[in-house]
């Protein structure tokens, strides 16, 4: 683990989403609150799956022109979604709302097999931007169900990822959100075994507690070789635990419907920093939480753009900023094969996507919106 100074750009701006309603240049100091030290977590913000999905949707807009339909929010971040809406993306929660023949992208959270089939049936250009780490869980569910396993899936009822995964093998899967859900579960006795799968973005504490209970209850318990909680979830949570040890208060930037963001809040609190709050933008910073806090921690969920983090830092205007680096991430997920093929057909080659970040793509989105 290493600490390094954070470079802050002079002008903190974002091209996506609405401006914060704070008056220009206002800082927390104007409210009489001075932060001595800000510890900024690294890693934070965009993961490889979110990077891929955002870039993929911008390419869809470039290839097809607006309107492009997107089944579910491409990622769970308000400012990102609003930026895409402005550029001509129409988000739908029912695939039947996509007009026949219209281009449609399926979100990073993964879609039910029936949704994928229905999207294809409607005849337009369909690209599935599901994160490969969610696909891994879908495969586990499908293969264990085929082997006559009962599957316990730890997830949040109604979350897009959980809805999509549960639909992979509905006859075999049981959603649990808590240890008491698990304790009241009745499984078939003629099963081959019990598989324990999970939503990729859970809090590790939540997962661990249910895992321990499941181990006691089922002597035929099967676990995936590599756990379902993804690398981005794991790394951001490890980092926030370190923040919790050092900080008097922590801010987590991300949207209310972002599961991994909410998990960061709960992990920070469980790790001892009860003064932890989730904010979508500087306008939501609870000043009371920061009163008297000498050291404040800052992190961001996997769907939160860095530009929002920079806005928050600028508003906090701390005397000192330091980065708490836990691990370097270099994961990269290529664009979905169907999109790569379409790009090759259009441009004669697949553009070098590795060098282009989702932040770059969001800046281009501003151009697309402006040209519309
Ligand atoms: Fe994929 Fe994890 Fe990012 Fe979700 S949080 S999109 S599972 S890398």
The overall average pLDDT reported for the chain is: 92
Distance CA 265, CA 353 (A): 32
Could you tell me which of 73, 89, 44 has the C-alpha nearest to residue 243?
Answer: 44
Domain boundary among 222, 252, 267: 222
Q: pLDDT tens digits for 168-217?
A: 999 999 999 999 999 999 999 999 999 999 999 999 999 999 999 999 99
Distance in Å, CA 261 to ligand 1 centroid: 12
Domain that residue 170 falls in: 133-222
Least confident of 130-134, 313-317, 367-371: 367-371
For residues 117 and 147, membership in a common domain is answered with no
Q: What is the pLDDT of residue 1?
A: 52
75 in ligand 1 pocket by Cβ < 6 Å? no
For residues 41 and 53, membership in a common domain is answered with no
> Apex CA 86: angle with CA 89 and CA 103, to 5°?
15
- Tell me, what CATH number does 199's domain have? 3.40.1010.20
Is residue 170 in a domain?
A: yes
Q: What is the pLDDT of residue 370?
A: 63
For the chain, how many structural domains are there in total? 3
Active site residues: 161
Is residue 8 in a domain?
A: yes
For residues 96 and 171, membership in a common domain is answered with no
133 in ligand 1 pocket by Cβ < 6 Å? yes
pLDDT at 340 over 50: yes
User: Phi, psi (5° rounding) for residue 139?
Assistant: -60, -45
Is residue 356 in a domain?
A: yes
Distance in Å, CA 100 to ligand 1 centroid: 30
Is residue 73 in a domain?
A: yes
For residues 214 and 141, membership in a common domain is answered with yes
Distance CA 337, CA 340 (A): 5
Domain boundary among 172, 203, 222: 222
Is residue 182 in a domain?
A: yes
Is residue 211 in a domain?
A: yes
For residues 153 and 189, membership in a common domain is answered with yes
Q: Are 282 and 311 in contact (CB under 8 A)?
A: yes
Distance in Å, CA 318 to ligand 1 centroid: 31
Distance CA 206, CA 211 (A): 9
Q: What is the pTM of this model?
A: 0.92
For residues 120 and 149, membership in a common domain is answered with no
Is residue 330 in a domain?
A: no
pLDDT at 333 over 60: yes
- Tell me, what CATH number does 64's domain have? 3.40.50.11270
For residues 314 and 276, membership in a common domain is answered with yes
Distance CA 252, CA 255 (A): 9
Q: What is the pLDDT of residue 195?
A: 98
């Amino acid at each position: 683990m290493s600490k390094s100074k954070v470079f802050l750009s002079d002008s903190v701006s974002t091209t996506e989403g609405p401006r914060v309603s704070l008056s220009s240049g206002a800082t927390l100091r104007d409210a009489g609150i001075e932060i001595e030290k800000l510890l900024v977590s690294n890693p934070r913000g965009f993961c490889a799956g979110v990077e891929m999905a955002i870039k993929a949707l911008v390419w869809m807009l470039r290839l097809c022109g607006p309107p492009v339909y997107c089944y579910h929010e491409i990622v769970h971040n308000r400012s990102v979604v609003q930026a895409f809406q402005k550029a001509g993306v129409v988000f739908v929660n029912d695939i039947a709302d996509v007009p026949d023949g219209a281009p449609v992208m399926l979100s990073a959270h993964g879609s039910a097999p029936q949704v994928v089939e229905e999207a294809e049936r409607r005849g337009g250009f369909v690209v599935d931007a599901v994160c490969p780490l969610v696909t891994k869980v879908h495969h586990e569910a499908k293969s264990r169900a085929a082997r006559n396993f009962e599957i316990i899936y730890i997830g949040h009822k109604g979350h897009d990822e959980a809805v999509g995964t549960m639909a992979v093998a509905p006859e075999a899967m049981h959603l649990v959100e808590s240890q008491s859900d698990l304790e009241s579960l009745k499984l078939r006795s003629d099963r081959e075994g019990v598989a324990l799968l999970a939503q990729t973005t859970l809090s590790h504490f939540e997962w661990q507690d249910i895992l321990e209970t499941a181990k006691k209850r089922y002597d035929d318990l099967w676990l995936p070789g590599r756990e379902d909680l993804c690398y981005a979830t794991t790394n951001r949570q490890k980092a926030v635990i370190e923040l919790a040890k050092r900080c008097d208060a922590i801010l987590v930037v991300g949207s209310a419907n972002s599961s991994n963001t909410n998990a960061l809040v709960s992990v920070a609190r469980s790790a001892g920093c009860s003064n932890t709050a989730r904010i979508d933008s500087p306008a939501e910073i609870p000043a009371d939480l920061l009163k008297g806090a000498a050291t404040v921690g800052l992190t961001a969920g996997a769907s939160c753009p860095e530009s929002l983090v920079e806005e928050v830092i600028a508003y906090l205007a701390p005397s000192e900023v330091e980065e708490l680096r836990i691990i370097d991430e270099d994961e990269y997920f290529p664009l979905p094969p169907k999109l790569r093929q379409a790009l090759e057909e259009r441009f004669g080659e697949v553009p070098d996507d590795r060098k282009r970040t989702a932040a770059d793509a969001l800046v281009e989105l501003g151009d697309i919106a402006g040209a519309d």
